[in-house]
Structure formats: structure tokens, C-alpha cells
Structure 1
């Protein structure tokens, strides 16, 4: 069960409670879940009962107990505990890891994507290279979350941005319609001002960045720092060393693909048949991917995707050595399950890099 699936499960429990009269409250549009803090328990935590209590005219603990009764009957949930003032602690049923891995492999690089919402997100960015690349990455991320997206530049665009994969729609100010789309289609939300994308500017012009770093390293350097931080744009982004986060992420993806190729030579393929206990950290990171994409879209923060990819890469690189049989070992269900988890990690890394506009080489 993915975080998005679990959020829907909790939301359905709220709807059932309202539908059968146990709660009198407006059903929220969405419900969030998050990982428990240190010292907590369960796999996920939701504070929905605390948020609904005042509107329902009930104590948070009472609301939590009402929702607990309905959540306990939900497939995929093994246990629901109410803690503190009314937090719902959710423990997933046995087989949740296998279902997660199968879901990632089924969805491929589009794991974490949402169905089209019909909502329009309008972005306007300053006429500097970091703002342009950030807006381009946000366009990709917002599209993955089901939005229609229109971007514009406040001033004339730099033609060199194209060397960094930036796709221009309009320039010269947010009132200019996107080329090809806005010129023929009326803007359904003209009264909503576009979100201004204005991260701290890069200290180098576009052509110097491209000449020094190339497209992939330049984009990573511009996108991986928070908007208020100075971007890291030194030659260390080109080093094939574990201290270079871009190299670690791309190398981890290539290791995932190499494991799949080596397994084929040994005569077996991936299959999520068993729970991989020492792969729990990796599985947890992969399970967070949809939440990371949603928060990156909501907060207009592509650096969250970059940091998440670093965490996934580190978890995979720690796990990779246990995947293939050693010596005279014969491939077993455990090996197939480990390989499936590693393959799923590579899938998430490739999908995340694509949203940042960066390729994921199969070999390095």
C-alpha cells in the first residue's frame, strides 16, 4: 500500500463515518499521512482526528476511536492504535512491502504520478538561469501530479537556456499567453496570479555553466539546493566520487540495472515473493516517493525531489551487496525478492531524475 493509497483509505474511513452518522463534519478534500517521529510506532501516522474534532464538536480522541473502528476493517491495515491527543498510528498488513514493490514495477517511472485533475498551475519566473531551470523542473513535477501547467518568463528569455533543456512557453511578462496553447485556448483562471519562481540567482551565466559542467550537472546543481541557498556549482559535480550526490544517484541507478543483468546471466529474474527484512529502510524510502512528489509540487520545491533521490540512492547502495547469490548458492525466492526491491529502487531513481530533467544512465 503506497502513501497515496493509505491517504485514500483514511479519507474513505472519514466518509463512511460521516455517511453512517457517526460524525457530522464536512469531508475534507484530502487526508495526509506521515512517518512516525522517533519513539513512535506503526508504519504511518495521521492527525486527521485532531483536525476534524472542532468542526465535529467532539473530542479528538472520540473522533480517532470512530475512525479506528472503520480503519481496522480496511484491507492492507494490520493494526490501528490511537496515541497522544488523538493520533492514528497505522501498521500495514503482512505483504505490504511486496505489494509496494509490485506497484512500483507495474507503474514504472510514473510511480507516484496522479491522475489528471483539470486544475491549472501558472508559473512565472525571473529571467535568470536558475529561475528558468527551476520553473522547468516544477512544470514536470506539477504535470506528474495531474495539473495543467503554464509557464512564463518576466522578461526576454536567454536562448542558451535551451542547452539546459528549458522549454519556453512565453516571455516578456506573466500576461503573455503560452505559445501554442494560450494563443488558441482561453486562460480558465485569468484572475489567479501566477506563482513567482524566484530562487536565489546562480553566480554564473548560462553558457559558462554549460561549458563548465554540461547539462546534467548544471541542472542538478541549480535544483538540488533550497531556493534561498546558494547553488553548488563547482567542478566537484563532475567527479565520479561518493562525495558527489549526483554521481551517487546516477551510479545507484546503474547498479540497479547491473544487478538485473547479472541475475539474468545467473538464470533468474525479479519477483516480489517475500518480505525483505533488511530492505525495510530502502522500502520505506521508496514508499515515501509519492508524498515527496506531492510536497515538491505543493511547495514549489524541486530540491525535495533531489534530496529524496539521494536518500534512495544511499539506501540502495547499502543494500545492493545482499541481492545476488554468492558462491555455490542457488537463486531462491529470497534472491528474487531482493532483486525486485533493487529493481524498484532503480525505477524510482530513474523517474525522479527524469522529473528534474536529468538522464539516468544504465551503465557508468
Structure 2
């Protein structure tokens, strides 16, 4: 029995007691789920709840009397072997070993689906993250959102949401012209233009442009720049996509800002928002009255010279997401983008959406790496591809995923390269590899989950204390995934995997799967193999949500 199942069962018993008149509570006061937790002393039972202390006063009785009435009903729950009242009214619940052990078989049979849920079914989500300018390689500033954004998308999908991962390409405006000039100057042996992009990668892009357009140096500057801009942009985006692929991050959509401009989406956005009554003209410029919705000042959409602002593109982009059927839009932005929260929410409100329901802006804090060297190609940044080469995809992704986005983070390369329990990613991956090794050894010793084509499993045999502990953590995994999706916090999955890994290692040391020497294979061995394989499955499923591999051997 999982803690979630027990929680629902306790709630059902409460509702029955209220309906029968045994407890004087309004039906609305009974929670749909009752909090259960591990007692500090496991001799007191498997689970404990303080629901009697919470509701007794409202029911006009004392907590122990409330607990006594409820305990009589709790004892009738399938899988509950004992209920004791402790202290002022705590309920300590002991679960039948067979009821707890049945979970192992259920996990193996569920396979990759174990841990998924439908809590967010019907939610259509557009999640934009990374969105680095296509004027240079991905660097450490993009790394955190690449890892976290992808993991958030994965846990949302695991909870039933329909998620589109989107990369917004800022390929319009002055920066692209400066980018083209930088490559042009490098091709002609000229200094970096004012405000231009330095670094060896600009020379590399120049070589790629030259390969595609051998006569580019023969063109005038005016004729060459558009060609260089298009070719260098294409090459740089190819590099970005390749780096993301190496990092295990996939996007469903790469959305071009330039296409917004070319399709007239900016002008259309202004017209639509004007129809909504939120656009006004002042000083020759066109403004959006965002102060009506919490922004600190109104925003210019079209300058007096007729040029659209970045904010106008932001508004058009938001409307594009709405038009494409995304009821929920999640933006993952860097630490220097706090000012965007109110303006983006104001855009949502001006567009007729509820800013509390239809848009969510997550801000990530900075990440640094001790001892990391600046990129040889870019000169002034730490490139993501260098981090992958140095520390490995799994180490970087797991380390970034195991902390909340809003906490500053410094990675320790020496720790991440250690093959020891001090290294969290090694600790979890080793638990998975160890479980697969244990399964191979068990099969070699003649232990199989099936005998004569029939499952050989006796849940009541999983009665060791370490088995009870491991099963409880495996059972909690689905609720952890659901909470991670609800709060956009994949670090909850990482931390729970570490708890499971610790419980597995303790069980492995205490309970043999394969028989010793010439001992006969029994149902104990076979049933433990089910639990071993259930642990493998949960660890693999959880690591996959973090974009981290689950090695068979280490």
C-alpha cells in the first residue's frame, strides 16, 4: 500500500464516519487527502497521521476520542494490520507486509509508465526556455535553463500535460547586423567593429560562409552583409542545435522573431490590442497601457520613427502562442530578467488572458563552475560544449536539476568527477547499475521472476525492515513526480532518487537475492528479484525525467 493509497483510504473512512453520525463534522471539513508520514520510531508502525488533532476541536470532542472512533474504521482497510493511538491522539498505522510488497510486482508490470499520472491532463502548455541569441555559442548562462527547462517539460508530460518545448530565436534587429559586420570584418582582416563580437568562433563562421559562398569577398559590403548574415546565422544555429542535442535537450519548435516581422505580426498585434482598448498614441509613438495591469510604466510598442520595439515583438509572440492554442505559457528567464515578469503578465492581461492562470514566468539564478576555463573559441565565456566535454552530460544535467532554479549554484568539478557516494549523480547511477548487476547475478544463479511461464511472487515474503523502507520510497515516487510537475521543481525527483538509492543499498547489504552456494532457489529469492527490478525501474524512470542515463554497468 502506497502512502497515497493510505491517505485516500483514511479520508474515505472519515467521510463514512461523518455520514454515519459518528463524528460531528460538516462534510466540507473532511480533506480529500490526509497527510501521512513516517513515525520517528519505526517500532510505532509504518505510518502516522495527526488528523485527529487537526479536526477534533471542530468536531466538538477531544483528539483521543476522535482517534478512537476513526481507528475502528481504519482497521477495516485492506492492507492495514494494526492501528494504535499514541499520545494526545496520534494514529500509528502498521501495513500488512503482503499489501506493501505487492507494489514491487505492480511497478515492474507498469514499466516506464510507473510514476506517470493524469493530474495535468487537458493542460496545453507552451514552455519557452534557453532562447539564446544566435550570435554566439551556448554558454554557462544558458546551461541551467537547458537542463531545468527540459526536465520541467518532462515532468509536466509525465503528469499528463501536452507540452511544446519552444526556443525563441532572437534573429531580428541590430544585434544581427552587428553579428554580420563582425564576420564580414574577420573575412577581410579588419578589426572587430564597435560593439561587435570577438572570438575565434567568428573566424570559424567566416570560413563556413566562405565555403558556402566562395566569392563573398568580391562583393561590396552592402551586397555581402545580407549573404553573410544569413549564412553565419544558419551555421551558428546549427552549432547551437548540435550542442543542445549533445546535452540531451530537444525542442519541438524553433520560433523565429524575424518571421514575426516578415509576416506583419507586429502590426497585427498592435491592431488587436488597440481593439481591446489598451493601445494609445502619445508623442508620435504607439504605447501599450500596461500600468493598468501592474507594470511599473506603460510600454512603447512603435517608436516615433516607426520602428517597433522589442516589447512589441514580445507582445506579438505572446499572441502567436495564444493563437496556436496554448492556454498556458511558461517563460523560463535568466536572473537579469526580473523586470520582465510584470510586463509579460501585463501583455497577457491586455490580450484578454488571466495573468494568474495563462502565463507563468520562472526566473533562474546564476550558476558558476569552480575552475572552469574560458572558451578558447569565444574567449570571454565558458561554453556549454566545453562543460559537457569536461564533466560529462549526466554530471552537469543532474547537478543542475537537483537544486531549485531560484537558488544560486556553484558546481564543484572535483566532486562531480568522483566515483564515490559523495557524488550524488554517481550515487544514484551506481544504485541502478548495482541493481542490474544483481539481476544478472541472480539469473545466472537460476533465479527467475517466472517459473513455468507463471509469475513466482509472494508479497508476504518481503517482510524485512529494509524491504518495508525501500517499498515505501518506491511507493512515494508517483506523488513526488506529480508535485514536481505542479511546482515546476524537478529537483524533488533528484532528491527522492537519492533517498531510494540509499534505501536500496541498505536492502542490498541486508537481503540476498541469489542463494548462497548450493542453496536451493526459493520464492524468497524470486520475490526479491521482483523488488530489485522494481527499484531498477523507478531509478531509470526518474533519471530519464532528469535527462540522465541509467547505466547497466559502472
TM-score tier after normalising by the smaller chain length: 0.7 to 0.9
Does structure 2 retain, via aligned residues, the 8 Å contact 1:152–1:174?
no
2:499 maps to 1:311? yes
Normalised to the residue count of structure 2, the TM-score between the two structures is 0.58
CA displacement 1:188-238 (0-9 Å, x = unmatched): 794115443333322254333223223222111211234425143515424
Shift of 1:114: 1.9
3-state SS of paired residue (2:388): helix
Q: Report the Cα distance in structure 2 between the residues aligned to 1:212 and 1:193, rounded to whole angstroms.
A: 40
Equivalent position of 2:48 in the other structure: 45
CA displacement 1:102-125 (0-9 Å, x = unmatched): 222222233232235436386666
2:224 maps to 1:221? no
Does structure 2 retain, via aligned residues, the 8 Å contact 1:8–1:31?
yes
The one of 12, 23, 26 equivalent to 1:24 is 26
2:266 maps to 1:88? no
Does structure 2 retain, via aligned residues, the 8 Å contact 1:252–1:316?
yes
Task: Report which stretch shifted further, 151-160 or 15-24.
Answer: 151-160
Equivalent position of 1:335 in the other structure: 525
Q: Report the Cα distance in structure 1 between the residues aligned to 2:38 and 2:317, rounded to whole angstroms.
A: 42
* Closer/same/farther in 2, CA of residues 124 and 89 from structure 1, 3 Å limit: farther
Shift of 1:77: 0.8
Q: Which structure has the larger Rg? A: 2
Shift of 1:166: 2.9
Equivalent position of 2:115 in the other structure: 112
Equivalent position of 1:201 in the other structure: 366
2:470 maps to 1:282? yes
2:535 maps to 1:356? no
Query: What is the aligned residue count?
Result: 363
Equivalent position of 1:134 in the other structure: 148
* Closer/same/farther in 2, CA of residues 177 and 11 from structure 1, 3 Å limit: farther
Task: Report which stretch shifted further, 266-275 or 213-222.
Answer: 266-275
Q: Report the Cα distance in structure 2 between the residues aligned to 1:52 and 1:176, rounded to whole angstroms.
A: 49
Equivalent position of 1:10 in the other structure: 10
Which 5+ residue runs of structure 1 have no aligned equivalent?
A: none
Does structure 2 retain, via aligned residues, the 8 Å contact 1:104–1:347?
yes
Equivalent position of 2:100 in the other structure: 97
Does structure 2 retain, via aligned residues, the 8 Å contact 1:3–1:287?
yes
Normalised to the residue count of structure 1, the TM-score between the two structures is 0.84
The one of 298, 301, 309 equivalent to 2:489 is 301
3-state SS of paired residue (1:288): helix
Equivalent position of 1:258 in the other structure: 437
Q: Report the Cα distance in structure 2 between the residues aligned to 1:267 and 1:334, rounded to whole angstroms.
A: 13
Q: Report the Cα distance in structure 1 between the residues aligned to 2:390 and 2:397, rounded to whole angstroms.
A: 12
Which 5+ residue runs of structure 2 have no aligned equivalent?
A: 132-141, 171-236, 256-312, 330-352, 369-381, 450-455
* Closer/same/farther in 2, CA of residues 58 and 113 from structure 1, 3 Å limit: farther
Shift of 1:43: 0.8
Q: State the superposition RMSD in angstroms.
A: 3.4
